[in-house]
Structure 1
Amino acid sequence: MVLTLAQLAEELGAELRGDGATEISGLGTLRGATAQQLTFLANPRYRAYLEQTAAAAVLCTADQAEDCPVAALVVADPYQAFARISHHFDTTPAPLREVHPRAVIAADAVIEDNVSIGPNAVIGAGVRLKAGAVVMANAVIGDGSEVGEQARIYPNVTIYHGVIIGPRTIIHAGSVIGSDGFGFAFNEGRWNKVAQVGGVRIGADVDIGANVTIDRGAIEDTVIGNGVILDDQVHLAHNVVVGDHTAMAGKVGVSGSTRIGSYCMIGGAVGIAGHLEIGDRVVVLGMTLVSRSLTEPGTYGSALPADRQDRWRRNTARFRHLDELYRRVRKLEQDAGRG
């Protein structure tokens, strides 16, 4: 794909400062872009690299454009503009829109128009693949599941029975959707498995990273709303509900029956206990342990930042005496009150 700056400016509604005939054939960073590539400046920490950039043009704000040594496309939000333009230069191979002869497809599966099914994919009984869906090599779609219009299932994804995938949703390689939840009852020295009879419902325009695991519901369904994004290695336990447009970074773990609202942002390696309520527009910082409900919008965090080893050891040792110190202070306060 080759586009001129004039074409890009028209598409974005951007102010062009430079030669509109300049051709763009790729994307790059401020530090690494070449004279045929477009870059952007969104984070102020990288402004020092602007004056040395060798890019053909930079997406930036009006005040940043004053220091730009090359052509500029002036926009209100450079990163959003970059996101729009990036799809012109996407290198993801287009699906072949064919059913591979080595695919295994149940006789009663419904395959709508323009569907692509890769080699060794398995399509179970009663499955419905809606128009334009893509199921890549070695993926498994379990009995009675449904994959929505233009959804894309990458290689080696396993979708169990009774799972609903919404339109335009993307599930990356190695993810498992609809495995049994962690349901066991302990009695007489052993664990007795509880049948997980719910399913999983995933909305439209969801982006699920690689090696994500979403468990099926124990009784009711596990539910993922529209526009949710899940980074690699996220785990959602049975009966979790995630509201629309919530984002979770890598290695987040959410325990069973917790409900998370819409437009939340959950940082990497956050652990959320079960049966909690997380309200709309809650931000949880990385490495936080959430052990109580967070119903009010805002930013929450609990992890201690890295420190020098000697100071970390001292503070850790002192932390062990925190309860003792609290009790001593309380006694001093009570004694002072009686005096």
Structure 2
Amino acid sequence: MVKTLKEISELIDGELLGDGEIEIIGVSGIKEAREHELTFVANSKYLREIERTQASAIIVGQDIPYDGKPLIRVDNPYFAFVKVLELFAWRKRKTTYGIHETAIIGDNVQIGEMVSIQAYTYIGDNVQIGDGTIISPFVYIGDDTKIGNETLIYPNVTIREDVEIGNRVILHCGVVIGSDGFGFASVSDRHHKIPQIGTVIIEDDVEIGANTTVDRATMTNGATIIKRGTKLDNLIQIAHNVVIGEDCCIAAQTGIAGSAELKDRVTMAGHSGAVGHITIGADSTVFAKSAATKDLPAGSYVSGFPAENHAQQLRIQASLRRMPEMLQAFTRLQERVTQLEAQLNTTDDKSDDS
């Protein structure tokens, strides 16, 4: 795909400085970019690269002076570059619409317009698939599942029965939606499986990374819910009956235990976790390798295990780093106290003799 610089500047609502007829065929980082590619500068440490880059044009902030290199000035260079990336990414993806001859389609399946169902996909009975949805090869979709419009499902995704998926959802390779929750009743040293017969609801504009699993709720009327706009990284475990609010961001290797609730805009950093049946308030952050073990009020910043106030944890970590020197100082104090005690004892003995 080829776009002129003028067309791109109009797309991102930017101020064009330089030749608008330059043809752009791709996008790249400022160090890697070549002729007829577009790049961006959003971090001041890359300003020196503006003179050295081979890119034909650069997306920059409002404070960058024009020195002859074609520029597009915008308020947010990073977000503008994301919009250009989306433009080129969708044009590069080759999609054949229709149903591949090897796909297995169940009874009473409703398929919208401009849908792509690719090779070796299995779709169960009573499934609904919205307009513009793309289902890649080797996807399994269970009975009575509903999938919205313009959703993208990558290869080897498994969507179990009775699941609801909204519009513009992205499910990456290996995602499993609606697997059984980890529920067992222990009697006489044996574990008896508790049937998991609830559902999963994934709202609009959610993205779920590769090999992430979202368990179904336990009860008939229960649901594990991931709300609008939330983004999940690769390798995340979401247990049964969890509710994740809108616009949350959860990084890789995070685990959320059963019936926990994350309010809107919660951030869970890599390798963090939350125990079951707690609530993490809106706009909170749980830092990397930390575990939330109790309810957290809105706006919390916590770290450590168990997770506590992040500022307090930083003070604790700073103290721990000084521990060897503190122990040495304590040892010296002990030795000095021992010497002083010995001197006092000697003085007392002489007093007694006199």
TM range (shorter): 0.7 to 0.9
Residue 34 of structure 1 is matched in structure 2 by: 34
5+ unaligned residues in a row in structure 2: which ranges? 308-316, 325-329, 331-354
Which segment is superposed worse, 100-109 or 162-171? 100-109
Which secondary structure state, in structure 1, belongs to the residue aligned with residue 80 of structure 2? helix
Listed as ranges, the matches of 1:255-270 within 5 Å are 255-270=257-272
Counterpart CA distance in 2 for 1:229 and 1:98 is: 29
CA distance in 2, matches of 1:56, 1:143: 51
- Following the alignment from structure 2 to structure 1, what is the Cα–Cα distance between the partners of residues 297 and 94? 43
Corresponding residue for 1:5?
A: 5
Q: CA RMSD of the aligned region, Å?
A: 2.5
Moved more, 110-119 or 233-242: 110-119
Alpha-carbon distance between aligned partners in 2 of 1:224 and 1:298, rounded to the nearest angstrom: 21
Q: Is the 8 A contact 2:18 2:68 kept in 1?
A: no
Match 2:239 to one of 237, 240, 262: 237
Inter-CA distance 244–92: structure 2 relative to 1 (3 Å threshold): farther
Counterpart CA distance in 2 for 1:266 and 1:48 is 34
Deviations 1:13-67 (A, max 9, x none): 211222212221110111111121111112334334333222111111122x228
Q: Secondary structure at the match of 2:270?
A: coil
What are the superposed Cα offsets for residues 183-232 of structure 1, whole Å, 9 maximum, x if unpaired?
11111011111111110000011111111100001121000111111111
Secondary structure of 1:62's match? coil
Mapping 1:127-166, distance limit 5 Å: 127-166=127-166
Report SS of the residue matched to 2:47: helix
Contact 1:50 1:68 in 2 (8 A): no
DSSP 3-state at the match of 2:296: coil
Q: Are 1:54 and 2:41 matched, yes or no?
A: no
Whether contact under 8 Å (1:139, 1:158) holds in the other structure is yes
Asked whether the equivalents of residues 5 and 22 of structure 1 are also in contact (C-alpha less than 8 Å), the reply is yes
Offset at residue 166 of structure 1 (A)? 0.3
- Residue equivalent to 1:283: 285
- Distance between the aligned counterparts of 2:58 and 2:304, measured in 1? 38
Aligned-residue offset at 1:10: 2.0
**TM-score of the aligned structures, taking structure 1 as reference length:** 0.86
Unmatched 5+ stretches in structure 1 = 305-311, 320-324, 326-339
**Aligned-pair identity (%):** 35
**Residue equivalent to 1:188:** 188
- 1:84 and 2:76 aligned: no
Larger Rg: 2
Residue matched to 2:44: 44
Kindly indicate whether the alpha-carbon contact (under 8 Å) linking 1:56 and 1:71 is maintained by their aligned counterparts in 2. yes
Q: Which deviates more, 138-147 or 285-294? A: 285-294
Contact kept in structure 1, 2:266 and 2:282, CA below 8 Å: yes
Whole-angstrom distance in 1 between the partners of 2:31 and 2:114: 42
2:16 is matched with 16
| Secondary structure at 1:300 match in 2 | strand
Tell me if structure 2 keeps the 8 A contact 1:227–1:246: yes
SS of 2:81's equivalent? helix
- State the 1:315 CA deviation: 5.1
- Secondary structure of residue in 2 paired with 1:182: coil
1:80-229 map, 5 Å: 80-90=79-89, 92-219=92-219, 220-229=222-231
Match of 2:327 in 1: none
The amino acid that maps onto 2:180 is D
Question: Are the aligned partners of 1:51 and 1:69 in contact in 2 as well (CA < 8 Å)?
Answer: no
Q: Rate the CA distance shift 1:43–1:267 in 2: closer, same or farther, 3 A.
A: farther
Q: 1:292 to 1:132 in 2, by over 3 A?
A: same
How far apart are residue 97 of structure 1 and its match? 1.0
The alignment of Structure 1 onto Structure 2 pairs a total of residues equal to 312
Deviation, structure 1 residue 180: 0.5
Cα distance per residue 1:63-102 (max 9 Å; x no partner): 2x22867221111100111111112211652321111111
The CA distance in 2 between the partners of 1:143 and 1:258, in whole Å, is: 28
Q: Distance in 1 between matches of 2:202 and 2:143?
A: 16
Q: Is the 8 A contact 2:96 2:116 kept in 1?
A: yes
Deviates more, 1:278-287 or 1:78-87: 278-287
- Please name the residue that 1:335 is paired with: none
What is the TM-score normalised by the length of structure 2? Answer: 0.82
* Secondary structure in structure 1 of the residue aligned to 2:99: coil
Which residue does 1:308 correspond to in 2?
Answer: none
Which whole-Å CA distance do the structure 1 matches of 2:79 and 2:118 have between them? 33
| Aligned mate of 2:295, from 284, 293, 296 | 293
1:235-294 per-residue CA deviation (whole Å, 9 max, x = no partner) reads 111011011111111111111111111122221111111111111111222222222222
Change (3 A) 1:82 1:151: same
Q: Distance in 2 between matches of 1:113 and 1:13?
A: 31
Structure 2 letter corresponding to 1:248: I
- Matched to 1:66, the amino acid is P
* Partner AA of 1:269 in structure 2: H
